[in-house]
Each structure stands twice: as C-alpha cells, then as structure tokens.
Structure 1
Amino acid sequence: MLGNVRELGLIVEFKMDPKKTIIQLRSCLTKIVNAVVKIMFQIKSCTKEAIITPIKLMGVFYVKKHLVVLSLIIMVGLLVACSSNSNNESGNELEVSKEESEAQKISSKNDETIIEKNWELSPEFIHSVEYESGEKGAYEIRGNKDGMGITGPFPIMAKDSQKYMWFYFGSENIYDKPVKIKAIKKGEEDSFDVYSGTFFENAEVSPESVNMPSHLRFPSTGTWKVLVYIEEELFDTIIVKVE
C-alpha cells in the first residue's frame, strides 16, 4: 500500500509491509517533522503561539490553514482590545467632564449664595498714602479694608459713566491677572458686565498701592452688588448705593 504526504514539495512514500512497519513509520514521521519545521521557519510572521499550534501528524497537514485561522483570531482579539481601550478612554473623558461640570455647578451655587446672602452697604473709610515726592494724600474709599475698594465721584449717579480707581488692600499678588467686574441690582436675578481690566504696577497712585483704573456705569438707581472676578473666580464683592 502506497501513501503520499505533500507539503512544500515534500513527498513521503512508504509501503505498509508488516515486517518493516516500525522502520517505515519512524522514517515517515522524521520527514514530516522536518517538513513542519521548514514551514515554520519560512513563515516570518509566525509567533510562538502559532508554532505550538496543534498539528495533525496523520494524513495531509494543514499548517497554513491553522496559521491563517490563528492570525484571524489574533486580529479579532486586537480589535476587541482596541475597542475596549477606546471605550475606557471615552469613559474617562466623560467622567472628567462630569467632574468639571459638577465643580462649575458648585462654584456657581457658592457665588449665588454670596450674592444673595448679604446686601448691607460696604463701609466708607479714608485711605492715607504717601507719594514718591514725599507728599501725603488721602482717598475716600467704598469697600473692604482687607480686600477691594473704589474711590471716585460720590455719590454714584445712575446712567453716568465715571472714572473710578480700584484699590486692593490684601496680600495676594494679583498683578497682571485678568479682572472682570460685574454688577447685580438688589431684587433682580441677572448680572451684567461693567468693566474688564488688570491691576498693574504703572497704575499705582503711591509706591505701596495696588491699583486699577476703570470706568463704571450703572443703568438705574438702587442698591448694587459689585462682583470682582479674578481669573474667572469670584474674588470679592462691594455693595454700593446708586442715586
């Protein structure tokens, strides 16, 4: 009985002689193993996992077929892994967005609490300074002695745009940071932008002063809360009366 095994041009022939069965089988298996090793070395993209793929040692060997199937399985696995990573990244981005949104909501609620909490007029006080020339001066201030205050034409008149100088009496360095001034009238819900600018050294009225020039205009009479935002965060408030 004659049997043939073909793989990459390899032909193994053997006769099923009862007396020589063992010898022929050994020779056949040796040639088959050599053929399999040759196939594996010729396939450069073969991985260790592919090398240990089960191989049928009886009949025709379908090594390439197994490798193709294994490659497809690996590709599907990689696609699933990439999809999973993408979903995880998207999930992380959504979580970050939710956290930022919650932080903004908390900040907004805190601002609303501050806006609604107190409507008592800010105190008036005199701020004394010494100029570079050695002369002394004084300013009438509306505001907070350890925070923000303004000086300018008093009383503040509605619908008139007037120049007001801002003073900062705190210890933080606020130079050259974006400042936004908003105002809201007592009994109303909506605020509006009044002025945008910065505190800068050349604006100082005296060597130890921190100042910002501005123009303020209030559309109507009443009690107004002036909101000072620095770098988009509520920094201080001043309550003034507009006549």
Structure 2
Amino acid sequence: MIYPKIVLMAVLLLLAGCSAEKPIPENKDWKVSHLFKSGAYTMIGQEGKLGFIYDNGEVVRFYPNKKQKYMWHFWGKPEELQGSLKVMGISKETGEKITVIDALELGGPNNGADGHTPSQMSLPSPGLWRLDAYIGEKLFGSIMVQVHNQK
C-alpha cells in the first residue's frame, strides 16, 4: 500500500524542516550597530557586509514616525545580492514587528559597496530597533538603531 509510505515520508520531511537551522540575526545583544566609513560616507551596520548612510546627526537620526531617506549598501558575491530587499523591524522595548521596507530592487556598485538601493524608512516608537535585511528570502544581516524622542 502506497498511502502509509507517503504519510510517513511527509511526516519525516516536516520534522526535518523543523529541525533545520534558521539564520540567527546579528547583534542579538541589542547594542546600537557600529559606524564605519565607506568612500566619503559614514554608515551604520556591519562593515564589509551591509550598512546605510548615517551620521547620527539631526539629518539622519531616527525619530518616531518621521520618514527619511536612507541609502542601503551591501557587500557580497553577485549570487548573494540577487532578489529584492525586504527589511523587518523589531522593537526591543515592545517586541512589535513591522515591515519597514517591502520590496526594493538592488542596484549595482556604489560608494565602495557591491550593491545599493535608496529607501524611505520610518519606525513608529522610541527605543532600540533591530532591522533585519532580507535579500530574496534569505536573511542577509541586521542593523541595530536607536529611535530618539521628538524634540
């Protein structure tokens, strides 16, 4: 009888999928990511992996619900940079999870990086936020930012 074999195979595949390792976002200690230089710009993120232009000044600081432009940069092999960018935000204080960027296509090299894309981002509340950047369906890396109270 074929039916029990199919059921057994499906159960084994399901169990194997549950035990598969899932990527762990970087910076699980909830510390603001480091600043680094690339080309003429200061960026926040993981040097040599991903970052966006950021100077921690009034121009690009995060404030609740204030949408601003940020230029994302990625370093990696061409096959790692295939697919659209999706960014999920997670608040340390509330545990709230939001979609920050839904689907942006990556452009080519820029400012010393292998790929880039401009974006508009806004986070809803003050505190620490982890931005998990996915290219295609794969977690590429994470950046931790501080959202400041409005002046």
Question: What TM-score, normalized by structure 2, do the two folds share?
Answer: 0.79
Counterpart for residue 34 of structure 2: 123
- What is the CA–CA distance in structure 1 between the aligned matches of 2:42 and 2:112, rounded to whole Å? 18
Deviation at 1:212? Answer: 1.4
What is the match of residue 148 of structure 1?
A: 50
Distance 2:36 2:18 in 1: 40
Any conservation in 2 of the 1:175–1:198 contact (CA below 8 Å)? no
CA distance in 1, matches of 2:136, 2:113: 23
Give 1 or 2: higher helix fraction. 1
Equivalent residue number for residue 189 of structure 1:
95
Whichever of the two has the greater Rg, that structure is 1
8 A Cα contact 1:182 1:227, kept in partner: yes
* Corresponding residue of 1:95: 12
Opposite residue 212 of structure 1, the aligned amino acid is T
The one of 122, 125, 134 aligned to 1:220: 125
Q: How does 1:159-170 map to 2 (within 5 A)?
A: 159-170=65-76
The letter of the residue matching 1:142 is I
Residue 115 of structure 2 corresponds to: 210
Q: For 1:176 and 1:115, locate their aligned partners in 2 and report how far apart those are by CA, in whole Å.
A: 21
Alignment root-mean-square deviation, CA: 2.4
Cα deviation for residue 194 of structure 1 reads: 0.5
Amino acid at match of 2:28: K
Structure with the higher fraction of residues in strand conformation: 2
SS at match of 1:173: helix
Q: Which residue of 2 aligns with 1:200?
A: 107
Cα deviations by residue, 1:180-226 (Å, 9 ceiling, x for unpaired)? 1011112332321100223233xx44586410121111001111111
Q: Is the 8 A contact 1:176 1:200 kept in 2?
A: no
The separation in 1 between residues aligned to 2:113 and 2:52, in whole angstroms, is 16
- Output the CA distance in 1 between the equivalents of 2:112 and 2:144: 28
| Structure 1 gap segments, 5+ residues each | 1-83, 129-137
Counterpart pick for 2:2 among 58, 81, 85: 85
- SS of the aligned residue for 2:106 comes to coil
Q: CA deviation at 1:171?
A: 4.2
Q: Are the aligned partners of 1:125 and 1:140 in contact in 2 as well (CA < 8 Å)?
A: yes
Aligned residues: 143
Amino acid corresponding to residue 149 of structure 1 in structure 2: G
Question: Conserved in 1, the CA contact under 8 Å of 2:27 and 2:144?
Answer: no
TM-score (norm 1): 0.52
Residue 178 of structure 1 corresponds to 84
Q: Which has the higher relative contact order, 1 or 2, with Cα contacts under 8 A spaced 6 or more apart?
A: 2
Partner residue in 1 for 2:41: 139
Distance 2:26 2:77 in 1: 24
Residue 122 of structure 1: CA displacement?
0.9
Structure 1 contact 186–224 (Cα < 8 Å) conserved:
yes
1: CA distance between counterparts of 2:73 and 2:80? 11
